[in-house]
């Protein structure tokens, strides 16, 4: 297999982009990434796009739409849309890596896009609930938030983390989001903001939950040997792994750890030949605060029982032991679902190329991105290396 490099990144502002359509935000991110790579676009011979649900915009065939409006269809470039709930973007990225690594494609554009605010909140929530088991969780009256809420209650009951420690993950997210011009929320919050916000599914409150957002992100990838001759800043993709678990949360032995995360991470560290302590900057899937806490443990950054305390103490801030969710994460940067996994890779690539402005982490060699679908039914873990 060939080694793969990211040579360009692009991301739109995340938020309630009422004046923009799905197709316009998707194209905006792609053009930014191609410009960043110093390419014309005619080099691209494959498109992969992470997009979770056609129900948000009532449009199937998203791949054809993006190929058409990006101008790639004039050259008949193939496009593939991937869906894996919240991990849709992470899976698209991995497919793009495999396409270049295998030699099937020479230059791939991986995008992620979602337009969630064209539907009312309750309808959007129902779409999100169907990333859990639609027949045996959602249709029985359970919501995706309630599933994470039940994980939260169990974590607290077992003494793995306190309610305050779990809430502090959102405080860290907002602190970093305030430094990101593309973030949906740029205002710092306190622990009280989270703990006193209205309940969504007890014990989780509004500020424990990532918002519904519109947005898109994209990266351009080529073989590493080609990247070296392009004269642009690039990063090496050292691992792009994915793992599965049961669709329904209730079919697991243990609901306080996501085995798909531990499995994908184990494989990614093995391929990269590094350990968790070698990672300086990470983007983890905090669709709920508790998901962020679990990720820190499942990825091996902290031992079970230590992650919550570490977040509360500021150890995951920029300048701390490991900088986590420097973009603001899903919570503060925003959570346009399919865009999310690609946006994480954009943030890590920008950090490793010293392009993260006020959020820059000093001397980072390795960065990691983790994207989660449903309640950990599909997880991607990718590791990038600075050159």
Q: Is 259 in the site for another protein (CB under 8 A)?
A: no
**Which listed range, 4-12, 120-128, 181-189, 234-242, lies at the site for another protein (CB under 8 A)?**
120-128
Contact 363/248 with Cβ under 8 angstroms?
Answer: no
- Number of residues in contact with another protein under rule CB under 8 A: 35
Q: Is 294 in the site for another protein (CB under 8 A)?
A: no
Q: Is 143 in the site for another protein (CB under 8 A)?
A: yes
Cα-based torsion angle of the residue sequence 188, 211, 180, 115 in order, rounded to the nearest 10 degrees: -160
**125-134, long-range: CB within 8 Å, 24+ apart, which pairs?**
127/52, 127/53, 127/55, 127/56, 128/337, 130/53, 131/52, 131/85, 131/86, 131/373, 131/374, 131/377, 132/247, 132/248, 132/249, 132/374, 132/375, 133/247, 133/248
Write down the least CB distance from residue 154 to another protein, Å.
4
Q: What's the CA gap between 351 and 359, in Å, rounded?
A: 8
Sign of dihedral through CA atoms 87, 46, 55, 138?
negative
Candidate list 1, 18, 140, 231; residue touching another protein; CB under 8 A: 140
Candidate list 4, 11, 116, 142; residue touching another protein; CB under 8 A: 142
Contact 26/217 with Cβ under 8 angstroms?
Answer: no
Q: Is 122 in the site for another protein (CB under 8 A)?
A: yes
For another protein, the binding residues in 196-215 under the rule CB under 8 A are: 198-204
Nearer to another protein, 248 or 260 (CB): 248
Write down the least CB distance from residue 256 to another protein, Å.
10
| Binding string, residues 153-192; x marks residues near another protein by CB under 8 A | xx--x-----------------------------------
Contact 113/29 with Cβ under 8 angstroms?
Answer: yes
Candidate list 250, 266, 321, 387; residue touching another protein; CB under 8 A: 250
Nearer to another protein, 122 or 362 (CB): 122
Q: What Å distances lie between residue 286 and 1, 27, 162, CA to CA?
A: 32, 26, 17
Radius of gyration of the chain (CA): 19
**Which listed range, 180-188, 210-218, 245-253, 263-271, lies at the site for another protein (CB under 8 A)?**
245-253
Write down the least CB distance from residue 288 to another protein, Å.
12
Nearer to another protein, 170 or 227 (CB): 170
């Amino acid at each position: 297999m060939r080694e793969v490099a990211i040579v360009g990144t692009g991301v739109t502002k995340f938020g309630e982009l009422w004046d923009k359509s799905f197709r316009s935000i998707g194209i905006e991110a792609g053009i930014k990434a191609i410009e960043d790579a110093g390419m014309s676009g005619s080099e691209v011979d494959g498109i992969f796009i992470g997009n979770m649900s056609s129900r948000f915009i009532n449009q199937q065939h998203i791949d054809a739409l993006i190929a058409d409006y990006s101008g790639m269809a004039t050259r008949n470039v193939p496009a593939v849309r991937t869906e894996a709930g919240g991990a849709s973007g992470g899976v698209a990225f991995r497919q793009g890596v495999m396409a270049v690594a295998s030699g099937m494609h020479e230059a791939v554009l991986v995008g992620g896009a979602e337009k969630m605010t064209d539907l009312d909140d309750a309808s959007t929530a129902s779409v999100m609930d169907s990333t859990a088991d639609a027949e045996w969780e959602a249709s029985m009256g359970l919501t995706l938030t309630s599933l994470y809420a039940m994980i939260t209650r169990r974590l607290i009951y077992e003494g793995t983390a306190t309610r305050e420690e779990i809430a502090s993950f959102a405080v860290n997210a907002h602190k970093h989001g305030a430094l990101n011009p593309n973030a949906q929320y740029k205002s710092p919050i306190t622990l009280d903001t989270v703990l006193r916000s209205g309940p969504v599914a007890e014990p989780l409150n509004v500020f424990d939950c990532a918002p519904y957002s519109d947005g898109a992100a994209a990266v351009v990838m080529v073989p590493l040997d080609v990247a070296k001759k392009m004269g642009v800043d690039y990063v090496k993709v050292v691992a792009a792994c994915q793992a599965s678990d049961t669709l329904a949360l209730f079919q697991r032995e243990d609901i306080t750890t996501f085995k798909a995360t531990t499995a994908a991470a184990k494989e990614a560290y093995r391929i990269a030949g590094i350990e968790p302590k070698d990672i300086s900057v990470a983007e983890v899937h905090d669709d709920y605060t508790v998901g962020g806490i679990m990720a820190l443990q499942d990825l091996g950054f902290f031992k079970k029982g230590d992650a919550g305390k570490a977040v509360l103490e500021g150890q995951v801030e920029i300048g701390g032991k490991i900088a986590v969710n420097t973009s603001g994460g899903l919570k503060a940067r925003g959570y346009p679902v399919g865009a999310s996994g690609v946006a994480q890779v954009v943030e890590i690539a920008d950090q490793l190329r010293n392009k993260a402005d006020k959020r820059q982490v000093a001397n980072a060699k390795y960065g990691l991105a983790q994207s989660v679908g449903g309640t950990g039914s599909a997880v991607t873990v990718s590791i990038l290396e600075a050159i």
